[in-house]
Structure 1
């Protein structure tokens, strides 16, 4: 009996294995890892953007005569889980490439995994500078503008405010830490007499907004640099408004103009903050209008920044595979250097020096109109103009 079962099992494995191989030959599998449950506000629109791009690519015949296929996994916002599902996607699902991640710590974990496995990874969303600098490697590229780039977009606005005493508030993990380090460095370079008089760094998702706000009030800063986002941002804004923290005080803030975080605030949006974000209502470029019209028709709602990132990530992967004419990680790593991709934000380039794309961000001031938070006087900042020099990158990044 055991022998018969063994023969039968072997036959089943042989058949299903051949079917799996045929399926793999018909499609190009993108293994996508993200914190869907923990960061739903950003990642639900992100998933819609990916799906829209996938449909467009496949409707056009796919790449190399093969359709693109997305296989997604949730990393539970945990670096260990991110590595585990990356391994699962490669070994069980036989994906051709890896893509995604949201938080900087999970992005860094998969960046290291890609290096160890010599497997191609496009980091779509995480902003940590380390992904393309200290931890950068041949197999990892990054789409969104980094913390350095976005802070560099805000610093000239902060300098114009002519405030001497600054406080900082940020989530206490890689993204927040690197954001504040860059803000302090660039402010010192452009305004040597600047002073930093208060610092609050709550754990991500666990802010005691009352205590944080009161500590900043007690520090009596002239200006505040904020890097909080999502639910932490909403709690901080509401408590800060109640306690008068923002009254007659300058604030510059990362990400706060992104609809994912601005929309929930409604008429509580802190008017006057200078922010990076995505003012989808007022972007008049042809490429964005085409994206906006298609997205609204398909989903019956406006895009969020996550929508743009998800769409652009899939389009980047498609363009890279087409240029390489292969899904081989070595060939993809070569193809992505200098790769140009058309996105809703315009054409971007993945520069060879550090594998960072030139995607930019909008900078503007928050206001409340018709009971909703909006960005006013928003200007697109081309990411290529806010990157560190080749010499600076070479000093912190190991050679591929």
Structure 2
């Protein structure tokens, strides 16, 4: 009788996961192993990432899973530690038998994982690491970046500022690869768009510094029209708070390419000067779409806080996995790569529609900029005068995409 019942169910419901004769009670779940910095000064990245994964997994499973299979996810704290990150990734692959890797927060750590992903033929989804090298000079078919990268935000800032009256520019950025490359990409593009721009100073404080007084004094001495400031997270908070008593923001216009994150806006609070130009990869107040409203409501109710950009981008990374597996009809990495490269893959996220491009495995999307303003409704600053710089202006050109693929082919020789 039991075998007949199973057969009947199997005929009526094609996606059933029960098998007759007790061969298997349920298809194996799709497994995701995520790695973020979840402790210390940068711990918010991991916290918001893990919360977004939890929410996405619950919603996907409630809707039937991925190809009828449940999605399971484990999140580990990499800290800012290369050896620990490698150990976690290998354990995910060899012991936990995950189908996908996600993370890490640090771009440097992400570069470290490229060879591991390739060796074990596991797809790595980048939802927080934002160096353009991941999908450019170090392109690997096993990595997909689902967030707008540093190049896109630098170029978008140039397009925005090219229409502003500021001509004398300087930089205050963290003294490591991201800070220097962000400035180089911004000012190079700005000079293309506005040839009369002049560079009047460069200051690169130590990454995760505690004292920015020297940098502040240098800006006050030079008196530029505007400053490109790729400080982020705790660094941007410390810099802004230390600059306020000096009246710096009353004298010089600032543009923070990643300053519009809640990890900056909320800690500065009512002290945030109005009118600072800031960009962010996702801001919960926009767009006014059904999906974003639903996501923000569910996140707020579940975790008692608004989703930061790390949450929005990580949620989008999980839903990309669902879209990619369903297109390929498989969790096999080679089949997914072939399916996505056959034609661009579009999927909806809280921040809007994203497109995964075949040539460099980089997301194609507009970049959001706005100006700071305190919100009584939320109790912390948000952004006003929202402006989206179009993707076609900031993503890699056809010539750049060709160079990415040619570079990859040469690396295989």
Instruction: State whether TM-score is above 0.5.
Output: yes
Instruction: For residues 158-199 of structure 1, give each alpha carbon's deviation from its aligned partner in whole angstroms, at most 9, with x where no partner exists.
Output: 222222221112222232222111012101111222222222
Provide the C-alpha distance between the structure 2 equivalents of 1:204 and 1:80, rounded to a whole number of angstroms. Answer: 21
Instruction: For residues 214-251 of structure 1, give each alpha carbon's deviation from its aligned partner in whole angstroms, at most 9, with x where no partner exists.
Output: 22222322210010011111111012222222223121
1:282 to partner: Cα distance? 5.1
Q: Which one scores higher on RCO, CA 8 angstroms, separation ≥ 6?
A: 1
Unaligned runs of 5+ in 2: 1-23
Q: Do 1:353 and 1:390's aligned partners in 2 also have CA atoms closer than 8 Å?
A: no
Residue 198 of structure 2: aligned partner = 195
Residue 399 of structure 2: aligned partner = 391
Q: Secondary structure at the match of 1:135?
A: coil
Q: Secondary structure at the match of 1:77?
A: coil
Within a 5 Å distance, the mapping from 1:50-129 to structure 2 comes to: 50-129=53-132
Residue 354 of structure 2: aligned partner = 348
Sort the Cα spacing of 1:381 and 1:291 in 2 relative to 1 into closer, same or farther, 3 A.
Answer: farther
Sort the Cα spacing of 1:136 and 1:223 in 2 relative to 1 into closer, same or farther, 3 A.
Answer: same
Matched, 1:308 2:312: yes
Matched, 1:249 2:252: yes
Residue 388 of structure 2: aligned partner = 380
**Residue in structure 2 matching 1:284, options 274, 281, 288:** 288
Provide the C-alpha distance between the structure 2 equivalents of 1:44 and 1:310, rounded to a whole number of angstroms. Answer: 11
Matched, 1:131 2:134: yes
Residue 187 of structure 2: aligned partner = 184
Q: Do 2:156 and 2:393's aligned partners in 1 also have CA atoms closer than 8 Å?
A: no
Instruction: For residues 39-91 of structure 1, give each alpha carbon's deviation from its aligned partner in whole angstroms, at most 9, with x where no partner exists.
Output: 22233222211111101111122113221111222211233332222112111
Q: Do 2:299 and 2:307's aligned partners in 1 also have CA atoms closer than 8 Å?
A: yes
1:298 to partner: Cα distance? 2.8
1:385 to partner: Cα distance? 4.3
Provide the C-alpha distance between the structure 1 equivalents of 2:305 and 2:199, rounded to a whole number of angstroms. Answer: 42
1:112 to partner: Cα distance? 3.5
**Residue in structure 1 matching 2:369, options 363, 370, 373:** 363
Number of matched pairs = 379
Unaligned runs of 5+ in 1: 1-21
Matched, 1:326 2:330: yes
Sort the Cα spacing of 1:107 and 1:360 in 2 relative to 1 into closer, same or farther, 3 A.
Answer: farther
Residue 6 of structure 1: aligned partner = none
Residue 204 of structure 1: aligned partner = 207
Q: Do 2:126 and 2:146's aligned partners in 1 also have CA atoms closer than 8 Å?
A: yes
Q: Do 1:128 and 1:178's aligned partners in 2 also have CA atoms closer than 8 Å?
A: no
Provide the C-alpha distance between the structure 2 equivalents of 1:190 and 1:66, rounded to a whole number of angstroms. Answer: 50
Sort the Cα spacing of 1:51 and 1:361 in 2 relative to 1 into closer, same or farther, 3 A.
Answer: farther
Q: Do 1:80 and 1:109's aligned partners in 2 also have CA atoms closer than 8 Å?
A: no
Sort the Cα spacing of 1:333 and 1:54 in 2 relative to 1 into closer, same or farther, 3 A.
Answer: same
Residue 36 of structure 1: aligned partner = 38
Provide the C-alpha distance between the structure 1 equivalents of 2:404 and 2:186, rounded to a whole number of angstroms. Answer: 18
Provide the C-alpha distance between the structure 2 equivalents of 1:206 and 1:158, rounded to a whole number of angstroms. Answer: 28
Q: Do 2:286 and 2:292's aligned partners in 1 also have CA atoms closer than 8 Å?
A: no
Worse-matched range after superposition: 129-138 or 177-186? 177-186
Residue 144 of structure 2: aligned partner = 141
Q: Do 1:260 and 1:305's aligned partners in 2 also have CA atoms closer than 8 Å?
A: no
Q: Secondary structure at the match of 2:55?
A: helix
